[in-house]
């Protein structure tokens, strides 16, 4: 048994894969509150990258019976990772990686400034995509139709810039990386989700859940843990909305991956193939699964599905290692693993504590931004990825260890 069990009074146990990694007191209180909900099944599973989050603890896996907690899913619905291995090797990369980073930055809109965003729309609309993959164009057209149908019942959602954010990275800890594995093979990896439209859907239904709780769930340990039960007024619409955002997020990553591949082809004249091995996985989402003989909704907030044989991605911080992993299907973790290293401090604290020189030193050898605006993503603001991986050795096995050589941050 590689986990520690926290027994919660008037609640289910909390099983924590946190040996050798720190856990904030605030995060533990959040976990205990979640464990006290009457809808939670069996136990709460906690990954080694656990830290305090808005709504629910990041790095938690919460199984619920006939109910979903919108704030546990959060507002970055479907956020996750995509990675693919190419036939390129380290010696195929140029000595100066600056032009490659510039091409990626031009190909994938990133950051929060509106001027940096392209308008990606279905080809049937004015302002069609710039050379979109045909399959993605069809998938996007279907998503547009589904979103329009959702907006019939929730017209407020029409105010979101959903068309505008398809194919964009965003800011914060979202990134695009060019990496090398142990054998020197070149990988492309990126991290993003459902962007502004996912945020709009999540925020809207979190508010509705809280209003619903005022009438029906008066003994909640935390207002953010308000939930919709099956049969409730908004349950079906929330499931429909969250499913839509998760599909949007997956397609968004695929579209950006194609854009990065295009940038790589512009910079490297040698012909190459991609997707020799590829993974596209969520780490902020909810889906119906069966565990211990019970059908439940499993909410993974900052956690990745790790069924036996299933591939996943666990990124380290900027300047640290990342991992392509294979799940071991550990039932106690609800077949889950961590989604990264996990923060040890807030972004505000990191910016006060570290300097630009610290950032330069910590990202030596990586072609990336090294300025004051990215200090909050400095590796020292995150847990030790090696300790995180050791703590979950019974959840996953490492297939590839990746080291980034180019990193584009929003």
Q: Do the bridges between strand 14-16 and strand 278-282 make them parallel or antiparallel, or are there none, so unpaired? A: unpaired
Whole-number Å distance between alpha carbons of 410 and 112: 7
Question: What's the burial of 48, exposed, middle or buried (CB within 10 Å: 0-12/13-18/19+)?
Answer: buried
Query: Is there a contact between 241 and 207 (Cβ–Cβ < 8 Å)?
Result: no
- The catalytically annotated residue of 120, 191, 282, 339 is 339
Kind of pairing, strands 396-409 and 321-327?
A: antiparallel
- Residue 39's φ and ψ, nearest 5 degrees, are -90, -10
Q: Is the dihedral of CA 21, 57, 12, 339 positive or negative?
A: negative
Q: Give yes or no: 283 in active site.
A: no
Note whether 278 and 84 are within 8 A (CB). Answer: yes
Give yes or no for a contact between 138 and 227, defined as CB atoms under 8 angstroms apart.
Answer: no
- Which two tokens mark 212? 């619903």
Locate 403 and state its tokens.
């080291």
Sign of CA dihedral 260, 79, 109, 316: negative
163 vs 167: CA distance, rounded Å = 10
Tell me which residue of 381, 344, 347 sits closest to 363, measured CA to CA. Answer: 381
Q: What tokens were used for 89?
A: 């090797």
Residue environment code for 5-42, b if the CB has 16+ CB neighbours within 10 A, otherwise e: ebebeebbebbbbbeebebeeebbebbbbbbbbebbbb
C-alpha angle 387-388-391 in degrees, rounded to nearest 5: 85
The catalytic residue positions are 339
């Amino acid at each position: 048994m590689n986990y520690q069990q926290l027994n919660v009074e008037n609640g289910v146990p909390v099983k924590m894969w946190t040996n050798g990694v720190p856990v904030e007191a605030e995060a533990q209180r959040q976990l205990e509150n979640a464990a006290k909900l009457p809808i939670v099944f069996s136990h709460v599973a906690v990954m080694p990258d656990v830290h305090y989050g808005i709504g629910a603890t990041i790095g938690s896996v919460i199984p619920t019976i006939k109910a979903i907690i919108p704030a546990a899913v959060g507002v970055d619905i479907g956020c996750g990772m995509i990675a693919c291995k190419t036939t390129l090797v380290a010696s195929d990369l140029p000595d100066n990686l600056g032009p490659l980073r510039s091409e990626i930055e031009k190909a994938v809109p990133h950051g929060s400034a509106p001027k940096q965003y392209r308008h990606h729309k279905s080809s049937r609309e004015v302002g069609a995509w710039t050379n979109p993959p045909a399959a993605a164009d069809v998938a996007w057209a279907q998503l547009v139709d589904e979103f329009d149908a959702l907006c019939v019942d929730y017209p407020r959602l029409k105010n979101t810039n959903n068309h505008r954010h398809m194919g964009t990275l965003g800011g914060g800890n979202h990134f695009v990386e060019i990496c090398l594995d142990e054998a020197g093979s070149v990988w492309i990896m990126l991290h993003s989700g459902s962007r502004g439209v996912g945020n709009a859907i999540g925020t809207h239904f979190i508010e509705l859940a809280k209003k619903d709780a005022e009438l029906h769930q008066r003994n909640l340990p935390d207002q953010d843990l308000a939930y919709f039960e099956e049969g409730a007024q908004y349950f079906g619409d929330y499931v429909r909305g969250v499913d839509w955002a998760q599909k949007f997020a997956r397609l968004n990553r695929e579209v950006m991956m194609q854009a990065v591949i295009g940038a790589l082809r512009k910079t490297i004249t040698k012909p190459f193939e991609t997707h020799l091995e590829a993974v596209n996985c969520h780490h902020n989402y909810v889906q119906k699964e069966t565990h211990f003989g019970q059908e439940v909704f499993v909410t993974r907030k900052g956690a990745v599905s790790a069924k036996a044989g299933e591939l996943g991605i666990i990124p380290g911080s900027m300047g640290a290692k990342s991992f392509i992993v294979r799940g071991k299907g550990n039932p106690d973790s609800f077949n889950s693993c961590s989604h990264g290293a996990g923060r040890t401090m807030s972004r505000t604290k990191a910016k006060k504590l570290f300097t630009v020189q610290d950032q330069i030193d910590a990202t030596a050898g990586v072609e990336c931004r090294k300025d004051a605006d990215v200090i909050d993503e400095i590796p020292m603001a995150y847990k030790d990825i090696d300790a995180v991986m050791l703590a979950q050795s019974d959840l996953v096995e490492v297939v590839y260890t990746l080291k980034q050589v180019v990193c584009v941050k929003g």
